[in-house]
């Protein structure tokens, strides 16, 4: 079966660093996405990892360990606008196409 | 402008009525998806389509139906058999079977059944 776990809520201070963890259990795993979603809006793409290691993109970085079934999203120099839900999603290539399974999301609150 | 259109943004229906949500894209993407999102939960896959005239059930297809007669359009019908239809519905596309391609999301339709 497929099971993605991530914390429900996190709080951090403006200017700080926060790490959001995600674990997954699935056969046929073939990549992991992180999306950002503000309340009432559609998710927007942040990062994609398929190989072990760290992918850096500006203030955001994402890490993957396939052997551990583990990923994290690292946000640096936090800003108030980073307050949002962060969705971890694993991708599996099936006969019917590219299928994503999402975690429940981590609601991040950035405070002054 | 290229993109994904979902309309309307807010939709109200009476219990027992079928309702169809539209999703149109001009990105020339092959694959299209429908998700449902409930408060405090992640996105759950309802149906997806890789090519025209073909579609697959997702994880929660019961009470829903779709069609894919054109590449640009993938409408979702919420039938009266869906027990809890009130939710935020998101349509997404991706350009093909290449797993590296991320899914692009439309703005969503918030359906409320009274």
Q: By the 8 A CB rule, do A85 and A108 touch?
A: yes
Q: Which of A4, A44, A99 sits opposite B48 (nearest CB)?
A: A99
Task: Return the pLDDT at A28.
Answer: 78
Q: What's the rounded mean pLDDT across residues B8-30?
A: 93
- Residue B101 or B9, more confident: B9
Please determine, for residue B69, whether its predicted confidence score (pLDDT) is greater than 60.
yes
Task: Return the pLDDT at A97.
Answer: 64
User: What percent of chain B is predicted at pLDDT more than 70?
Assistant: 93
Which residues in chain A have Cβ-Cβ distances shorter than 8 Å to B52? none
Q: What's the rounded mean pLDDT across residues A103-110?
A: 95
Question: How far is A95 from chain B, CA to nearest CA, in Å?
Answer: 9
Q: By the 8 A CB rule, do B21 and B111 touch?
A: yes
Q: Which three-class secondary structure state does DSSP give residue A18? A: strand
Instruction: Please list, residue by residue across B38-66, b when 16 or more beta carbons sit within 10 angstroms of its beta carbon and e when fewer do.
Output: eeeebbbbbbbbbeeeebbebeebeebbb
Q: Which of B48, B90, B97 sits opposite A42 (nearest CB)?
A: B90
- Following DSSP, what letter does each residue of B39-68 receive, concatenated? TT--EEEEEEESSTT--EE-SS-TTEEE--
Task: Return the pLDDT at B88.
Answer: 96
Confidence of residue A1 (pLDDT cuts 50, 70, 90): very low
**Unique residue bearing structure tokens 């009525």:** B17
Least confident window among A4-13, B19-28, B98-107: B98-107
Q: By the 8 A CB rule, do B34 and B47 touch?
A: yes
Task: Return the pLDDT at A101.
Answer: 87
Q: Do B48 and A41 touch (CB under 8 A)?
A: no
Which residues in chain B have Cβ-Cβ distances shorter than 8 Å to A4? 42
Q: Do B106 and A50 touch (CB under 8 A)?
A: no
Among residues A24, A47, A38, A42, the alpha carbon closest in space to that of A85 is found at A38
Among residues A41, A46, A52, the alpha carbon closest in space to that of A88 is found at A46
Please determine, for residue A13, whether its predicted confidence score (pLDDT) is greater than 50.
yes
Distance CA B5, CA B112 (A): 19
Q: Do B101 and A98 touch (CB under 8 A)?
A: yes
Please determine, for residue B15, whether its predicted confidence score (pLDDT) is greater than 80.
yes
Q: What's the rounded mean pLDDT across residues A78-87?
A: 97
Q: What's the rounded mean pLDDT across residues B80-98?
A: 87
Q: By the 8 A CB rule, do B81 and B63 touch?
A: yes
Distance CA B107, CA A43 (A): 9
Q: Which of A44, A91, A97 sits opposite B50 (nearest CB)?
A: A97
């Amino acid at each position: 079966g497929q099971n993605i776990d991530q914390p429900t809520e996190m709080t951090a201070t403006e200017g700080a660093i926060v790490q959001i963890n995600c674990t997954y259990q699935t056969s046929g795993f073939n990549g992991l996405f992180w999306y950002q979603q503000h309340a009432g809006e559609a998710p927007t793409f942040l990062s994609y990892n398929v190989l072990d290691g760290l992918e850096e993109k500006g203030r955001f970085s994402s890490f993957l360990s396939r052997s551990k079934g583990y990923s994290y999203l690292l946000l640096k120099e936090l800003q108030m606008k980073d307050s949002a839900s962060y969705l971890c999603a694993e991708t599996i290539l099936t006969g019917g196409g590219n299928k994503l399974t999402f975690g429940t999301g981590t609601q991040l609150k950035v405070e002054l | 402008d290229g993109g994904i259109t979902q309309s309307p943004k807010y939709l109200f229906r009476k219990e027992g009525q079928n309702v169809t949500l539209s999703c149109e894209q001009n990105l020339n993407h092959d694959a299209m998806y429908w998700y449902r999102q409930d408060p405090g939960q992640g996105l759950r896959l309802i149906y997806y389509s890789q090519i025209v005239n073909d579609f697959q059930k997702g994880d929660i297809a019961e009470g829903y139906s779709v069609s894919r007669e054109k590449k640009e359009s993938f409408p979702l019908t919420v039938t009266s058999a869906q027990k809890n239809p009130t939710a935020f519905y998101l349509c997404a596309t991706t350009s093909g079977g290449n797993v590296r391609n991320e899914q692009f999301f439309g703005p969503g339709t918030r359906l409320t059944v009274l």
